[in-house]
Amino acid sequence: MNKNISQGTFHGLAAILLLAAPAAQAQAPAGPAAPVAAAAPAPAAVAAVAAPPAKGPLVAGVCLLSQEAVITRSKVGQAATVRLRELAGQVQANLNAEKARLEARGKALNDKRATLTPLQMQAQSQALNQRAQALQAEAGERSQQIDATKARVFNRVIQQAQPYVTQAYAAHGCGLLFAREAVLTGNLGNDLTDEVLAALDAKATPTTFDLEPAPKAR
Question: pLDDT tens digits, residue range 51-101?
Answer: 555 578 888 999 999 999 999 999 999 999 999 999 999 999 999 999 999
| pTM, full prediction | 0.70
What 169-172 contacts at long range (C-beta under 8 Å, 24+ apart), as own/partner pairs, is: 169/32, 169/33, 169/34, 169/63, 170/33, 172/63
Which of 17, 21, 3, 52 lies closest to 139 in space, CA to CA?
Answer: 17
Residue 116: other Cβ atoms inside 10 A: 15
Identify the CA nearest to 195 among candidates 95, 69, 18: 69
Report CA Rg, the chain. 25
Give how far the C-alpha of residue 113 lies from the chain's centroid of Cα atoms, to the nearest Å: 44
Which residues of the chain register pLDDT less than 70?
1-54, 217-218
pLDDT at position 96 is 97
pLDDT of residue 140: 94
For residues 191 and 177, what is the distance between their CA atoms, to the nearest angstrom? 9
